[in-house]
Chain A
């Protein structure tokens, strides 16, 4: 679409976003992070809190993320083969699958 329409739409969107994200910036947030900071070293033994969170308390999300990265590397590997496309062409006569 043309640039004037895009700029007008973005100004309306910016007005809504800037009025919705009106948090108190820089305040202490309690809850789960307090538990992680208070008991992280004793339960996991790691000094780096971020590593202790994403490899001990939430390791299942890291397994899902490793699967997504592996799937995307497989996708690039199979899209860009050497001679033929992903399904092979019919003039070549080979059926690699």
Chain B
């Protein structure tokens, strides 16, 4: 798309940070209201895809570089496995719930669920953005 209308560009630039914030809210409040790691991660990835469709992939690549996104996806998978092994180091089983509970209804109240939600959210979000970059920038 060479000539996008200016209404689309202005609205997307203003709305982009709110969509990212909404994605982070869905990820972190996954155990109190509908949402969770996968849902918030897809919203997070969709914000980057929207910016890439309106502004052009070259400009979006300068801000959200493909190497950093790919590194976040790989490190996220390793962090998931590492969180499982911490349970073995402390004497319980693999992926056990070793953190103490807080009071019911607040954010840090559910043990390992919050950390796993954050890891999964970032992994899925950056994974979807990397798939989008690869498919769009492919030359025959």
Binding site for B on A (CB under 8 A): 41, 44-48, 50-52, 55-56, 59-60, 62-63, 66-67, 69-70, 73, 76-77, 80, 82
Contact = CB atoms under 8 A, between A and B. Distances in A.
A62 B77 CA distance: 12
B134 A48 contact: no
Interface string B105-118: 10001111100110
Given A45-B102, A55-B37, 9 more contacts: A44-B110, A45-B111, A55-B31, A56-B113, A63-B80, A63-B81, A63-B84, A66-B80, A69-B127
A73 B113 contact: no
A44 B111 contact: yes
Contacts of A52: 31, 110, 113
Interface of B: 30-37, 70, 73, 77, 80-81, 84, 95, 97, 101-102, 104-105, 109-113, 116-117, 120, 123-124, 127, 130-131, 134-135, 137-139
15 contacts: A45-B101, A45-B102, A45-B104, A45-B109, A47-B31, A48-B30, A55-B36, A63-B80, A66-B80, A73-B73, A73-B131, A76-B134, A76-B135, A80-B135, A80-B138
B135 A45 contact: no
B76 to A, nearest CB: 8
Contact of B116 (A55, A69, A77, A82): A55
Contacts of B101: 45
A91 B17 CA distance: 46
